Structure 1
């Protein structure tokens, strides 16, 4: 049996898609093209309207190209289940937390007989998902992601991801350690800790609450126990995918500072806007001044720190003055890279209901100017 996994969206989606591929391989399936696949898995994205448009186009293409089953999962599938089910009897919509088990089941059944798939699998508990990790699949990859957190308890006024992903939850530390140990023993030299809201990682332990910096310390100890590579470099180093500025604790910054590169000196701190007025209307948890102070403190502790960010331009009600404040703050922060997103109106969000939407031409101009600065 042949399969194809099509990944769309964020780094968390990439890690999840990797796990789908491992589950299929464990069931005896082999990768192939869309045209040759008996099963196509599409991991969808809903972060912007354009991302969802691309997702729908991708699923339709998979249905046309493949004569097999098409399994749709991810954020857009959660938000628009009926849209995808209507694309054909061979389309199955599967909720997060159940995909690994479902692809394994489908692979086994398709190996026995060809059949259509049209059921919708209910959402399952995050902590109860099967562990299909087979680290040897990644032995030739220099950098591999490990998902340690999912979901989000924030409710930014422009965002639907907290609805699609559900409440924040953390992968048990023992599970994270086991996954990372397998990767390190397979020769992976860099592990990226990923999550929808990574900085909210919390686990109750015998000694109290285990935070993200505590988890990193445990993973560093694991790496220390491995034989050192012949080139003298650390057995494995760690990278953080993205962290909200309010979750960047002093303890975490201090850990990065004293590890001499074993934790990559790079932080992705989403800004979204440089105007405190706009940030408040976005329902972000900080002001522009507070964000700048976080950046200054981090750079003071880690002088070689590289910073990247996300910024939305053209949020409803954003004036030219607001935008200039964003430009000024971006200059002050000296970002290595800025991911610029023209505001995307997402149905069901408070921002989408506002009457003061910014003209598309204005959004495009502001995006161009900010990208030129970056």
Structure 2
């Protein structure tokens, strides 16, 4: 694994010296930002819109509060000229200490309020929001962090030694070549295996949703159902940008962002009924943006190096658009159908995709010769 390690002893020592300086500067900058927000606490809070979600639940109003959310993980950083920026590699885990659900609803005797608290996200409605929320948090964190580290001068951090700046830039490029190659070969082998096994498509669950429409001053409830759904294409996993390396628990970790070049679901039959009357047709859904985190660990025993999958998690499914045939007078349902499709993808299909990808990647890694790539 020598290619991943800094061979220049002067550069290695300089990097070690600068670690504490960088950590101190980032901590101070984030603390100052928090103080400023505290001073401006009377100002209106900035709102960040989340994507629409769909789930069925009784009651009129639900407020979900995630308390004391902590972030832990690794972020990829690369040198650019005399400064640094973060890339798309954000291996961050957000964990709330508590999830509070406040509910308000009406019965025959008036308004009733209640509150539940849970320790596990999976036990709550918040799980439906979590993918979009953490994607938004990563976006905000990247903006804040880039503003801080772009002010760090690589030359100043390395005691004004321009030759060390050149050395760290060259080392970063060399590492990118190797780690990107490792990623690409694993993904190509996985895609080939998925195609050979003919498991690139996944049946998607039926959808059964209700909607309302005001007709002649009366709110009427309709029903939407979609059947015979198919997801594709699992065999189009590709890397998005450079991957990164980190040291965790004494092991070298390689992590990066990937996506499916083709991701869509289709239903060959739907029905939308309002007062028992309505259209039928088919649905083809396209997804404008999808991202997932891949994380591998290199295990070295004597001269042999093995690579294993540490994590694969879908982190973003957005810009979902449903193309629906036959809606006619109910074409105002199109945006709702897009939301129903997005929620089906995020909540029900994504876990199946993750399981399928992990299974195939693990099979590929059984015979994957990472040592040969590390000694090029």
In terms of fraction of residues, the more helix-rich structure is 1
Structure (1/2) with the larger strand percentage: 2
Fold shared per TM-score above 0.5: no
Greater C-alpha Rg: 2
Normalization by structure 2: what TM-score? 0.25
Larger RCO of the pair (alpha carbons < 8 Å, separation 6+): 2
